[in-house]
């Protein structure tokens, strides 16, 4: 009979001879935790592009749930900064990249040494910058709204044009950048990241001063890089007054405009889509998403009142969809449509809710 030798570690042999066996075998839970930790993406490089934008490369693509807009509150907690810095929107994978993301943050301080941990991993270090994005013009677009317009030829690109999530919808405007943020022709671009929660300060020659907040989904609408910013509800630009626009994140070349009267949009008709939404048709195509952030009040013949808010990015030419908030349309009730805050004119515009 042939016996095979077994090699027994000295420590284990001693334990056996001592009558005590202590073998350090990971539990199933520990093994699973180790495997999960190995699957978590790790930051490999952090590059500040401007005061509100980081470009972060990971060793592997982020999981789908870690870039899902619906998970923003949880995703914010994945990034732990010092210096009161935090992300303001989800990371967006750059077109053509495997694991490099545009990450919008609150404003950095120049030369400040920041540390950041992703999902409680070891800190990475980067030096902050107060560099601003170049914006060519500030201009009035309605009686309470202005725009800041930038251009590709100035070496400025909205992130919507260079991220994978929006690539198909951007058509010919979509392109990719290399590791130095240069396009195929070698032109380097600065990046306007998400303008969520951003604002500008507007100062009038008459002493007025306002904070105008970003109007969501306008920063890359209609093929332009012209995000809109709106004055507080009820405030309007005064005709003949010169206004200057300032932003902590933008260097605005032509920052002044003289306010003028701009005729409001005109609602031509309205009809129900279903009990929770209506369709509003304008008299003319505004050629820009001037419906963004707008609402109407619906006054029913039964004495009820409802509000409907524009569904972002739903406008097709002269038609936009508005969703009812906090209620539903009642069957066979007629409603009068009244724009809130005078963004449009509506003369005897009514609709009747469909019966079930």
Q: Is there a single domain that holds both residue 240 and residue 312? A: no
Same domain, yes or no, for 187 and 277?
Answer: no
Last residue of a domain, which of 235, 258, 281?
A: 258
Residue 316 DSSP class: B
**What CATH number is given to the structural domain containing 324?**
2.60.40.1220
303 and 341 fall within a common domain: yes
User: Domain limits at 153?
Assistant: 133-258
- The DSSP output letter for 95 is T
Both 250 and 137 in a single domain?
Answer: yes
Average pLDDT over residues 220-233: 95
- DSSP-assigned letter for residue 303: S
Is 13 inside a domain boundary?
A: no
217 and 272 fall within a common domain: no
Q: Is residue 1 part of a domain?
A: no
**Domain count within the chain:** 3
When pLDDT is averaged across residues 324-349 and rounded to a whole number, the result is 95
Is a pLDDT exceeding 70 seen at residue 7? no
Q: What pLDDT score was predicted for residue 34?
A: 43
117 lies in the same domain as 184: no
Two tokens, residue 277: 């939404």
**Are 112 and 199 part of one and the same domain?**
no
Helix (H, G, I), strand (E, B) or coil at 338: strand
Q: Which residues contact 170 (CB under 8 A, 6 or more apart)?
A: 160, 161, 220
Average pLDDT, stretch 308-315? 96
Residue 114 has pLDDT above 80, yes or no: yes
Query: Average pLDDT of 246-261?
Result: 98
Q: Which residue has the tokens 């694991």?
A: 99
In angstroms, the Cα distances linking 59 to 4, 38, 104 are 45, 11, 20
For the question of whether the overall pTM of this predicted structure is more than 0.75, the answer is: yes
Contacts 24+ apart (CB under 8 A), 282-285: 282/318, 282/319, 282/320, 282/344, 283/318, 284/318, 285/317, 285/318
Domain C-terminal end among 258, 287, 314: 258
Q: Which of 258, 289, 307 delimits the end of a domain? A: 258
Q: State both tokens at 119.
A: 């999902």
284 belongs to a structural domain: yes
């Amino acid at each position: 009979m042939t016996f095979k030798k077994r090699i027994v570690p000295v420590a284990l042999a001693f334990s056996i001879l001592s009558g005590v066996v202590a073998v350090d075998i990971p539990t199933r839970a520990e093994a699973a935790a180790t495997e999960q930790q190995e699957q978590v993406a790790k930051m490999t490089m952090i590059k500040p592009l401007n005061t509100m934008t980081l470009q972060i490369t990971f060793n592997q693509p982020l999981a789908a749930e870690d870039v899902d807009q619906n998970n923003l509150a949880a995703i914010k907690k994945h990034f732990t900064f010092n210096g009161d810095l935090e992300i303001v929107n989800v990371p967006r994978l750059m077109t053509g990249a495997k694991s490099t993301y545009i990450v919008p943050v609150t404003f950095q301080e120049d030369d400040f040494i920041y540390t950041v941990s992703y999902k409680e991993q070891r800190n990475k270090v980067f030096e902050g910058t107060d560099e601003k994005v170049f914006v060519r013009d500030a201009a009035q677009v309605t009686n309470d709204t202005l725009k800041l317009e930038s251009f590709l030829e100035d070496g400025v690109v909205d992130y919507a044009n260079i991220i994978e999530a929006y690539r198909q919808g951007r058509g010919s405007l979509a392109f990719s950048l290399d590791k130095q943020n240069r396009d195929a022709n070698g032109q380097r671009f600065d990046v306007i990241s998400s303008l969520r929660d951003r604002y500008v300060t507007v100062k009038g020659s008459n002493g007025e001063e306002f904070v105008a907040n970003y109007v969501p989904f306008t920063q890359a609408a209609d093929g332009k890089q012209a995000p809109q910013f709106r004055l507080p509800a009820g405030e309007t630009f005064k005709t003949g007054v010169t206004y200057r626009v300032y932003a902590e994140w933008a260097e605005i070349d032509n920052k002044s405009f003289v306010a003028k009267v701009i005729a409001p949009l005109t609602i031509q008709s309205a009809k129900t889509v279903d009990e929770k939404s209506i369709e509003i048709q304008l008299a003319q195509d505004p050629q820009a998403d001037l419906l963004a952030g707008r609402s109407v009040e619906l006054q029913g013949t039964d004495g009820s009142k409802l509000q409907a808010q524009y569904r972002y990015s739903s406008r097709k030419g002269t038609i936009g969809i508005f969703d009812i908030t906090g209620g539903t349309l009642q069957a066979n009730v007629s409603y009068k449509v009244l724009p809130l805050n005078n963004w449009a004119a509506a003369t005897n515009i009514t609709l009747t809710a469909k019966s079930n």
